[in-house]
Amino acid sequence: MTRFRSDLLRVYQERGFIHQITDPEGLDARAASERVVCYVGYDCTADSLHIGHLVSIMMLRWLQKTGHRPVALMGGGTTKVGDPSGKDDARKLLAEEIIATNLLAIRKTFASFLHFGDGPVDAVMANNAEWLDELRYIPFLRDIGRHFSVNRMLTMDSVKLRLERDQPLSFLEFNYMLLQSYDFVELAKRYGCNLQMGGSDQWGNIVMGVELGRRVAELSLFGLTTPLITTASGQKMGKTASGAIWLGAHRLSPYDYYQFWRNTEDADVGRFAKLFTELPLTEIARLEALAGAEINEAKKILALEATKLLHGEEAALSAAQTARQVFEQGTIGADVPSFAILTDTPMGLPQLLVEVAISASTSEGRRLIEQGAIMIGDQPVTDWRRKLSVADLGERDDLKITRGKKKIVSVRAKT
Distance CA 73, CA 123 (A): 11
Our answer to whether residue 50 is catalytic in this structure is yes
Answer whether 187's CB lies under 8 Å from 213's CB. no
Q: Which of 53, 107, 147, 386 is catalytic?
A: 53
Q: Which of 13, 231, 240, 351 is catalytic?
A: 240
Distance CA 395, CA 393 (A): 6
Q: Per-residue b/e over 62-78, b at no fewer than 16 CB within 10 Å? A: bbbbbebbbbbbbbbbb
> Position 75: which residue type?
G
Our answer to whether residue 68 is catalytic in this structure is no
Instruction: Give the angle 346-349-352 at the CA atoms, nearest 5°.
Output: 85
Q: Which of 5, 35, 146, 236 is catalytic?
A: 236
- Residues 6+ away with beta carbon under 8 Å from 287: 269, 270, 273, 279, 298, 301, 302
Distance CA 395, CA 411 (A): 14
Our answer to whether residue 240 is catalytic in this structure is yes
Distance CA 304, CA 267 (A): 18
Q: Which of 83, 201, 256, 268 is catalytic?
A: 201
Q: Which of 109, 180, 225, 277 is catalytic?
A: 180
Q: Which of 10, 91, 107, 115 is catalytic?
A: 91
**DSSP state at residue 61:** H
Our answer to whether residue 239 is catalytic in this structure is yes
Beta strands in 181-337 (DSSP E): 195-199, 222-226
Our answer to whether residue 53 is catalytic in this structure is yes
Our answer to whether residue 47 is catalytic in this structure is no
Q: Which of 189, 190, 239, 405 is catalytic?
A: 239
* Number of Cα atoms under 13 Å in the Cβ half of residue 2: 19
Coil, helix or strand at residue 223? strand
Distance CA 356, CA 34 (A): 52
Our answer to whether residue 13 is catalytic in this structure is no
Answer whether 144's CB lies under 8 Å from 53's CB. no
H helix intervals, 43-149: 54-65, 96-110, 129-132, 137-143
Our answer to whether residue 87 is catalytic in this structure is yes
CA distances from 391 to 310, 388, 396, 398 (A): 40, 8, 10, 11
Beta strands in 170-291 (DSSP E): 195-199, 222-226
Q: Which of 7, 13, 20, 50 is catalytic?
A: 50
How many C-beta atoms surround the C-beta of residue 402 within 10 A? Answer: 21
Pairing state between β 195-199 and 222-226:
parallel
Active-site amino acid positions:
45, 50, 53, 87, 91, 180, 201, 236, 239-240
